[in-house]
Structure 1
Amino acid sequence: MRQLQWDELDLLQGLEVIPTENDNGGLHFEVEQAGLKLLVTLWSHAGVVDVTLVHQPTRSILLDFTVAVRGRIRYNNDKRGQYLEFPDCVLVSRISFSLEQDEAAFNPNTFGRPMLLTVRPYPSVLFE
């Protein structure tokens, strides 16, 4: 298993909410802004992050996925705005996460992409 790396201040600046710890050891953030709800759960020991984006008026799920994060999560404030960068992410199955999938996700030969999360002016998710 892989360990997520981050600085608490980076997460607080990027998501602008105080996290809660869920019963299974995940660090959970819930951001509501502009009719959207962004749910982010960090599973430190597994090295994965769950991301869900919900359109609140209709309660429709717009995005719902899990990524393995290979690299340190960082807060950035640059010409693109204020955002959290999750470097080198690989999409993984939330339902059937297996040892083989874990090994493939964290293999340096598996291609990954950076994921950016922002909450201003509205919650959004971008894969670069």
Structure 2
Amino acid sequence: MMRQLQWEELDLVQGLEVVPGEIGNGGQQFEVEQDGLCLLLTLWPEDSVVDVTLYQRKTRAVLLDFTVAVRGRIRYNNDQRGQYLEFPDCVLVSRISFSREQDEAAFNPNTFGRPLLVAVRPHLSVLFE
């Protein structure tokens, strides 16, 4: 059973301060450049997964590159911790071989997940809580 990623586009635009670009197969990609770094967030709504890549712009050296299954609604938060996007209840999954079995395991209520926080202010940051 496939899931549908849930978010309000305004939340992502406000949190990342960029407008998404459409890519093939229904994906949306947000590209944020800051202080020589580039953050690519690609949302795959039909699979309820998000690809996260952070790399150095000049050298193209990849600092982070992973995919998460998101089991909750993506939200923009502005609280005592700052301004950030929260991807609640995430499970790391394989980008290369995402299969039906992996999908079932990722969305099983017995599989432990963690929130993923992404911020662009005051600087780019990606944090699993």
**TM-score (normalised: structure 1):** 0.98
Q: Could you say which residue in structure 2 is the equivalent of 1:108?
A: 109
**TM-score (normalised: structure 2):** 0.97
Amino acid at match of 2:45: S
User: May I ask how many residue pairs the two structures share in their alignment?
Assistant: 128
Q: Could you say which residue in structure 2 is the equivalent of 1:36?
A: 37
Across the aligned residues of Structure 1 and Structure 2, the Cα RMSD in angstroms comes to 0.7
Greater per-residue strand proportion: 1
Distance 2:73 2:28 in 1: 16
**Long gaps (5+) in structure 1:** none
Which consecutive aligned stretches of 4+ in structure 1 deviate over 3 angstroms post-superposition?
none
Q: Percent identity?
A: 78
Q: Could you say which residue in structure 2 is the equivalent of 1:68?
A: 69
Q: What is the CA distance between 1:55 and its match in structure 2? A: 1.3
Q: Could you say which residue in structure 1 is the equivalent of 2:87?
A: 86
Q: Could you say which residue in structure 2 is the equivalent of 1:14?
A: 15
Distance 1:6 1:59 in 2: 30
Distance 1:76 1:53 in 2: 21
3-state secondary structure, aligned to 1:30: strand
Distance 2:24 2:98 in 1: 19
